[in-house]
Structure formats: structure tokens, C-alpha cells
Amino acid sequence: MSAFTVIPSSRAALPPTRENRHLIGGSWRDSVDGATFERGSPSHGVVVSRSARGGATEAEAAIAAARTAFDDGHWSRISGKERASLLLKVADLIERNVERIALIETLESGKPITQARGEIAGAADLWRYAAALARTVAGDSHNALGEAILAVVLKEPIGVVSIITPWNFPFWILSQKLPFALAAGCTCVVKPSEMTPSTTVLLGELLIEGGLPAGVVNIVLGYGQPVGSTMTAHPAVDMVTFTGSTVVGRSIARTASDSLKKVALELGGKNPQVVFPDADIDGAADAVTFGVYFNVGQCCNSGSRIIVHEDIAADFTARVAALSSRVAFGDPLDPATQVGAIVTAEHNARIDGHVRAARAAGAEIVVGGDRLDVPGLGNQFYQPTVLRNVTSEMAIAREEVFGPVLTVLTFRTFDEAVTLANAADYGLSAGVWSDDAHTCLAFARQARAGTVWTNTWMDGFPEVTFGGVKQSGRGREIGRYGLEEFLEVKSLVMRVGRTRDPWVRAA
């Protein structure tokens, strides 16, 4: 199959290059040395933004500002009601600025404008849910320790939090972390990816407009070295939360261990969907197609690995291949586009390398398997790709490709399906498709994954927590557990009256 649905350049008018600066202690600053960096659009080839390039000096200043803001109590010790009120204002401001934020995110990341709009609008709901949680922080009391003792377990903000976010969902992932940290009473230093800095800066503008006290949220732009490493190692930082690759996550965990600070990691995935013969085949095929091509497959939750019963494998694969040819690839600024550009030319080459290595190892390309040319926009796109005759020993079945590439494995028995699903080092998400509730529940209990979807894929809600096991990370985001990540537990033991027996007896 070689015919794809390609949407050429819409020739849309592009905004002028955006200028970004650091937000430190409530003021916008250039770098001390005047250094800057540029981000070019992966789809349109223009310079989208020019940003101040921070170093250790800027990172340390931001950490100091967050430390001062936390310790003075202007945020950490105010009521949950007051924190909630500000978070709700920010949610309203996000909704008013969806179009402005979505446009810059599309140009910097290459994702379709419709998906960017959904991401930004959905993020407002995360802020509202975090606002609701701000008023629910509560501990425990112990009233059965004897008439002389009353004990209370308190939950307090952990302190200064370093937040390091990736390029694939820059606004959404920040909104999975920042409002929950703020709801808990923490102060923060944020470093967005150097490839998508602008939407984080835009959020900083909204935080100031909403009335956030100076120093509570600080933004430092730049690269992992030295900005991210400083934010990870600094002794004044109490916690690091990071979303990105497993390789970088391991490095952060090692560095943070020197000061024994808390670390939360949301890392990679090689997420399986298991399809049984009694499943809704049409619904499953459509969901699988969505799961692998959403955000160009550049998604930790990408359903990049399907495990299909051998009785239906040929038919199911053919259906997914046919749907793949109808998915609209092309200009991210065209509302009809479903799949946009690969984030960098280097990453596009890595995706292609994975596919070529799989083919050399014996996998068969059903559809795609090469770069995709889009008229007027070049070839920083990749064809929708489906590979069959894949075995669990192949690298393509175990390693995260982070692109629009689907691998097909087959199984005969339930136990074999579970074994294949759990074979990867990752454990972020898994899915099961069957009309038998017993099959779905049995699989869900045995799958080693932080989230298991049954007869759906990638449905998410602010109330339902998210995170992985194994090499997919540690800790949880969103939901009530997402708030708990930013809280420290303190026990308070009180003696009632002068009831304590003396340790030293009177002479």
C-alpha cells in the first residue's frame, strides 16, 4: 500500500518570531551573559521563537527565589481556599487564550492544531481539579492512645520543586504537575524543553496576570546541561519531577540521590494492546490506529505494540493498514490534519533507523516504512507504518520508537498474551479488547502497567491518577495521588495536661 492521505501546506500566515525570557522572582530577565537560542518549526521551517539561554547562574537565582517564597509563607502557609481561588483564575485565563497558546505549540512541536487546541483546553480542567484538591488537604488524628495523649498526622507541602518537562505535550504535562504542586503549597522552578519553550512562558504570563506572588513559580529556559542538572542537584531543592526518556530519568535519579531529595519520574513506554477474537474488531482497529498515530506517535502512551490472536491477526492487521492510509498526514495548521511533523530531523532519522533494523531482523512492512514528503513543507514527516511477523526478541518489539510505527505480534492462549504484554522493560500502559468481562479483568490484574484500558485506549480524566511501573518511572500524577506526591507527612504527638511520669525520681 503506497497511497496516503497527505494534506499539503495551507499557506497560512505565520506569526512573527516570539521572544522569550526567564521568569525569576516575579520579573522577566535576559540571561546574564546575553546568550539566546532559537527554535525552528519542524513543519514550516521558520524560526518560531528566540529564547534567553540560561545557565547555572539563572537556575540558582530561580531556586533561591523559590526557596525564599516558600520559606516566607506567602504561599505555603495560606489557606487552601486562597490557593484554590488563584488556580481557578488561571484556569479561566487558559481557556481565554487557547488559540494563542495552541498556535505557538503547533509551530514549535509540529503537532496538528486541533490536537494542540484540545491539549490546552483540557489543561484548564486539570487546573480546576487541582484547585478543588487544594481545599481537601487533610491528615489523620489518633484519639485512642490513652487519655493523656492525642496525636495528629499532618500533611504539609514538601517545599521547593524542580519541574522538568518534555517537548511532546509541553503545556499538558506541565499542567499535570504544576497546579498540583501549587495546590499542595509548594513553590516551583520550571524548565521546559528547549524545543518547546514558548507555551511555558505564556503560562508564566497568565500566572502573573492571575496574581501569583513573586517567586512562587520561576521559569528558566535552556538545556539540560547546565540548567536541568543544577535544578536536580541543588541542595535547596526538595523534590524533582521529570517527564522524559528513561535514560535521562535514571541520570536524574542518580544525581538527586546525593542529597536524598524526592524524585518523581514519568518515563517511556512500549505499550501493548491485546486483541482477543471476541472483541469489537472495528472499534479495536480504529482505537489502535488512533493510539499509534496520535501526536505522530511521539507519546509515552502510544499504543505502539499490538498482540493479536492468531485466528484474527491477518484480518485485523489488514483493517489497521487500510485505516492507516486514510489518516490525514500533513500541514499541522490545517484543521483537517490528524498527524503532523516529527519534532526534529534527527529524531525522524532515528525512527527510520528503527524500522530499517526491524526489516533486517525479519519483520515485514505492511504499510509505510519511510519518510513522507508533504508538498510545500518538506520531508520532516514519517509515513504511517505497520510491521508484522514481529517476534518478542526483536528490538522493535521492546524499544520505544516514539514515532508513527506499529508492531504486530500474535498469540494463541491467554497466558501467552499476558507473557508477551509483560515482556518489555516498560510498564506505563496496557490495553485489552474482549467482550468477555472475565477476560478483561483477568488481564487487567496480571498486566504490569500503571494504567490498563479495557475496550478503549487513552481515555483520561483529571480524577484518575497516571504513572508507570518498571522502567516507566516512579510516582503518580493527577488525581488525588498526584497531589499526595507534593506533600510531606509530619506526626504531631501531644500530651494532655501534666500527666507525664518523671524519668528522674525525686531524691
Instruction: Copy the grid coordinates of residue 102.
Output: 495552541
Average pLDDT over residues 95-103: 98
Is 108 among the catalytic positions? no
Beta strand pairing call for 5-7 and 328-330:
parallel
Residues of the chain with CATH 3.40.605.10: 14-267+472-491
Q: Is 26 buried (19+), middle (13-18) or exposed (0-12) by CB count in 10 A?
A: middle
Kindly report, residue by residue over 385-437, the tens digit of the pLDDT: 999 999 999 999 999 999 999 999 999 999 999 999 999 999 999 999 999 99
**pLDDT score recorded for residue 500:** 86
> What is the 3-state secondary structure of 116-143?
HHHHHHHHHHHHHHHHHHHCCCCCEEEC
Is 19 among the catalytic positions? no
pLDDT of residue 94 exceeding 80, the answer is yes
Superfamily of domain 272-454, CATH level 4 = Aldehyde Dehydrogenase; Chain A, domain 2 (3.40.309.10)
Average pLDDT over residues 426-454: 98
pLDDT of residue 258 exceeding 70, the answer is yes
Catalytic residue chosen out of the listed positions 58, 119, 266, 485:
266
Kindly report, residue by residue over 3-45, the tens digit of the pLDDT: 899 999 999 999 999 999 999 999 999 999 999 999 999 999 9
Q: Is 480 buried (19+), middle (13-18) or exposed (0-12) by CB count in 10 A?
A: middle
Catalytic residue chosen out of the listed positions 58, 300, 400, 440:
300
Predicted confidence band of residue 288 (pLDDT cuts 50, 70, 90):
very high
Q: Are 477 and 465 in contact (CB under 8 A)?
A: yes
Computed over every residue of the chain, the mean pLDDT equals: 97
Type of residue at 355: V
Residues of the chain with CATH 3.40.309.10: 272-454
Predicted confidence band of residue 316 (pLDDT cuts 50, 70, 90):
very high
Kindly report, residue by residue over 334-380, the tens digit of the pLDDT: 999 999 999 999 999 999 999 999 999 999 999 999 999 999 999 99
Kindly report, residue by residue over 42-67, the tens digit of the pLDDT: 999 999 999 999 999 999 999 999 99
Chain centre to alpha carbon of residue 233: 22
Predicted confidence band of residue 2 (pLDDT cuts 50, 70, 90):
low
Strand positions, DSSP E, 296-367 = 305-309, 328-330, 364-367
Q: What percent of the chain has pLDDT over 90?
A: 97
Of 94, 145, 85, 103, give the one whose Cα is nearest residue 121. Answer: 94
Q: How many residues does the chain have?
A: 507
| CATH code for the domain defined by 14-267+472-491 | 3.40.605.10
DSSP letters spanning 48-112: EEEEE---HHHHHHHHHHHHHHHHT-TTTTS-HHHHHHHHHHHHHHHHHTHHHHHHHHHHHH---
d(CA 400, CA 65): 38
Beta strand pairing call for 385-388 and 405-411:
parallel
Kindly report, residue by residue over 181-219, the tens digit of the pLDDT: 999 999 999 999 999 999 999 999 999 999 999 999 999
Which spans in 170-218 are helix H? Answer: 170-184, 198-210
**pLDDT score recorded for residue 1:** 40
Average pLDDT over residues 81-85: 98
d(CA 480, CA 463): 7
